[in-house]
Amino acid sequence: MPTGELDLLVTASRIVCPSTGIDGPGAIGVRNGVISFVKTGAPPVSMPRARKVLNFSDGVLLPGLVDLHAHPAREESRFGVDPDIHLLPRGSTTVLSQGDAGARNFDDYRRHTIEKSRTRVKLAINFCANGESNPAGRFFSLDEASVEECVAAIERGGSHVWGISVNIAFIRGKYVRPLDVLQRGISAAGQTARPVMFGATKTSDIPLRDQLKRLRTGDVMTYCFHSGEGSILQGGRVLDCVWDARERGVLFDVGDGTAAFGFDVAEAAIADGFLPDTISTDFYRYHVTTGEPHDLPRVVSKLIAAGMTAQQCWPRITSAPARILGLGDQIGSFKPGAQADMALLKMGTDPELLTDGRGDVRRGLLWEPVATVRAGVQV
């Protein structure tokens, strides 16, 4: 164990790190915003001195949560919320913006949100060139689906831009065909070596198989437990085209939101052996203006009520999304040298009502965020 004064020493009755297999009591030392050491088991009587000490005697200490689908945006987006106010204090230290900005407002988004946030913000740039800046929606014409503009913005954005958000639901242009938009978005992704975060039509007009067959290894389908037309189920079983997509490396993300998660689909899919690759919130302005409780621990609680275990959920909000973002060596882990991001969660003792996007209710124990540490500093 390294010697010398630490900036922060954290002890916890239970530390869980899916990427390293840690699950038990221990201590974590932090210097200069990164993890200096991790010691499992009961802390020894003598520990390095630290300027600040945090003792967590209850709950589960996880690496900082990674939300692969939310809407961090101070400007430019009709869905945007301030990440440092609404996401970071709830345990999410890294957040991927799902299309809040497109090619025409990316530079402002980078200045106002990415560069000014304490939260680590990455962008899935909206293939719609105007992003979500129009309150009436997106893709009013194919002019907004410009491969050239999207490629140029990604080249300007560099590592700030993880990939391309191509959501083909609720396209506004009367003569804009969803599959044309998807194909153009994939072309831009191919030219820039970026993955696609894909939102399906959520209708039966275009079979899901015709949408999924265009996706590539490493692309992510969000809203995977959407209930209703265009879902991943038929006759209570997961569609063959969904299994085929997973087999060739397409990933599946929850993206809970307000209407994109159904207990009926989640329960049937999980019972069929189909678990999501990542769990995300789709947290957006609605949750703030209505005061509806919403965060990653609550979405985890819904997935547990639907049939998953907590142990199955933890990697899907830490190491798995970190790896998908290409940041597996920096976040989502308690490895020495990783960023000192942490989230303490505690499970309630009495079952509570959990509601999906269709108004269906399940009773379950609720996980709540208790404390967040970002780069070695408590939020």
For 329, other C-beta atoms within 10 Å of its C-beta total 14
Please provide residue 323's backbone torsions phi and psi, each rounded to the nearest 5 degrees: -65, -40
pLDDT of the residue at 3: 59
Confidence of residue 324 (pLDDT cuts 50, 70, 90): very high
pLDDT tens digit sequence for 31-45: 999 999 999 998 766
Model pLDDT for residues 122-170, shown as the tens digit of each residue: 999 999 999 999 999 999 999 999 999 999 999 999 999 999 999 999 9
pLDDT at 47: 83
**139 with 129: CB under 8 angstroms?**
no
Helix (H) or strand (E) holding 3: none
Helix, strand, or coil (residue 82): coil
Q: What residues form DSSP beta bridges with 167?
A: 199
User: 75-101 pLDDT, tens per residue?
Assistant: 989 999 999 999 999 999 999 999 999
Residue pair 345/297 in contact (Cβ under 8 Å)? The answer is yes
Give the per-residue pLDDT at 46: 76
Domains of the chain, each with CATH number or no CATH = 6-62+337-346+368-378 (2.30.40.10), 64-324 (3.20.20.140)
pLDDT at residue 2, as a whole number: 55
Phi and psi at 325, nearest 5°, equal -75, -5
pLDDT at residue 42 in the model: 82
For 324, list phi and psi in degrees, rounded to 5. -60, -35
pLDDT for res 76? 83
Give pTM, 2 decimals. 0.97
**Residue 24 and residue 22: Cα distance in Å, rounded?**
6
HSE-CB at 229 with a 13 A cutoff on CA atoms is 8
Asked if the model's pLDDT at residue 316 lies above 60, the reply is yes
How many Å separate Cα 268 from the centre of its chain?
22
What integer pLDDT is reported at residue 352 of this predicted model? 95
Q: Each residue of 234-264: pLDDT tens digit?
A: 999 999 999 999 999 999 999 999 999 999 9
